[in-house]
Structure 1
């Protein structure tokens, strides 16, 4: 028997997705599969549920939700031999898009049943993992405004971006050490990516790969609002590097040191996070996670 544990965020996306045992038995025969369904009730709960499933020796653990839920489940599974399945029922679904995991639940379930495993790299900020991207500055500000909306839709993301454009003011300097070079900037944004999709099929790093052992980094210094608009337009066409101020790197590691302020305002896989550490060591762990694709 194959034990499959589904970790479900019941409010992801529309909040109307059904993951009852009766529903899943249409895809996983009762004589071959044991199905366990666990629902997360609060932020961080999926971590506890995944740890429990690992102790219960699940053969497959499936994250059902958006990038935040997937981050919680996958972070717990880094270094484990248990493969991660993904049912992308969130709003952005950046990691699933990069892995070509389809949004229709039926198709995603067949990927899990086919059990084809690949390994992907994992980004690390100090002791915290990210799988799609981590952002500082403007991108974190956008996520902060986005989380204030009750719904997670593309229109809400656009509204959050416009609000951030109107209010954004970056006053804190950051020392950036990358590829043997060190400089202090008052950045508009720093974006560190492991994948080529942010969510909603937008991208700042269209050439990034989950399997190349490298992080793709985009650094934009402080720019005026006209250039912010130009940068936003270039991002829609996946050509942010055409703005001359933009610096792009591929690297295995970089370091950020906060010069002022009390926290690093950041986002990791689309979830806001205020990090109190003064120094952030950002690196890549190659082939650290098994995923069903």
Structure 2
């Protein structure tokens, strides 16, 4: 080849080499830029290794229902939580003048996943009242004589460890809540009730049954010590004492309908039907049917009482002069003189006028079987 040809070949080779060098330089700068902004593999690994926060149980506990200092019960609850992969539980004790309302609000503020009531029916009622509409499930731990809501929902009442398991792993059941409204100008309330004041009227929740008259008198006159010693039979002496007290006059209005005038020994409004001792006073009542069942007992003597007992035992739904049954979503009761009032066995005071109404499916309770269509734990 001529000298000119070799010159052009040299120029071409030089151009190619310069182009390759420029490309390599740009590639090196480009990879360096991405390396400076892309997270390292170790950073991805660290994020994946971070364990999710453990779920947590809160227990609103009535210390008077514990065995001694409660160390054994707390240890059982803590052990079951650990076995289920939950965090250490939060324990909040009730007080004389706050039977669970404030403690439940504190538990909700902590953002816990389940709140359990460990105490009598009064503790359960207070905890439930604060949990209505919260979306947080409620667990029921056996701590009282009655455990009426747990019995009606078939939650274990004689095995603390099992009841904690149900609270953690059970199914959600959305149950109705009954509300009683009292006018302070017509009522004398117990000091411990103290919650639910609104525009001069006081509204209180109940889960099982509200009543006035004989049943409230029996509850009021039965000592806690006797109940702790002999169980539900402690109510018998007070029942016999008040069996034939004078009947009171009452005016009952159901669902804004017609008014019924009657004489009664006791008027009961129930969300559930089972009472202490296995008595099913309201066999048609369901805790999530959106209605309340009303029973008026008005026997005039021993023979009439025997008839009432027979009808309750046989679950008869027939209405007689001694036993009246109604269903409603709202009821108003006026009586001729003040009667003692109870909510889920908890005496709240005396009143002459009260209103009750149902709030359907307002509370989530953890149960073993739930109801058809109810959500599993955590849903």
TM-score by length of 2: 0.70
Query: Distance between the aligned counterparts of 1:253 and 1:228, measured in 2?
Result: 28
| Aligned pairs for 1:212-231 within 5 A | 212-221=289-298, 223-231=300-308
Query: Distance between the aligned counterparts of 2:69 and 2:313, measured in 1?
Result: 30
Query: Distance between the aligned counterparts of 1:135 and 1:7, measured in 2?
Result: 26
Matched, 1:145 2:221: yes
Aligned residues: 288
Displacement of 1:15: 6.5
Query: Distance between the aligned counterparts of 1:15 and 1:200, measured in 2?
Result: 26
Query: Distance between the aligned counterparts of 1:219 and 1:13, measured in 2?
Result: 36
Quick one: which of 184, 200, 207 aligns to 1:131? 207
Map of 1:282 onto structure 2: 356
Query: Distance between the aligned counterparts of 2:325 and 2:241, measured in 1?
Result: 26
The alignment's C-alpha RMSD in Å is 2.4
Query: Distance between the aligned counterparts of 1:68 and 1:15, measured in 2?
Result: 20
CA pair 145-241 structure 1, distance change in 2 beyond 3 A: farther
CA pair 17-178 structure 1, distance change in 2 beyond 3 A: same
Displacement of 1:74: 0.6
Map of 2:348 onto structure 1: 273
Larger strand percent: 1
Map of 1:85 onto structure 2: 139
Contact 1:12 1:91 in 2 (8 A): no
CA pair 140-57 structure 1, distance change in 2 beyond 3 A: same
Query: Distance between the aligned counterparts of 1:139 and 1:13, measured in 2?
Result: 27
TM-score by length of 1: 0.89
After superposing on structure 2, the runs of 4+ consecutive aligned residues of structure 1 that deviate more than 6 Å are: 13-16
- Give the greater-gyration-radius structure (CA): 2
Quick one: which of 87, 90, 96 aligns to 1:33? 87
Contact 2:304 2:322 in 1 (8 A): no
- Which structure 2 segments of 5+ residues have no match? 1-53, 182-202, 368-379
Deviations 1:184-230 (Å, cap 9, x if unpaired)?
A: 22311111100121223212101100110010111133522331243
Larger helix percent: 2
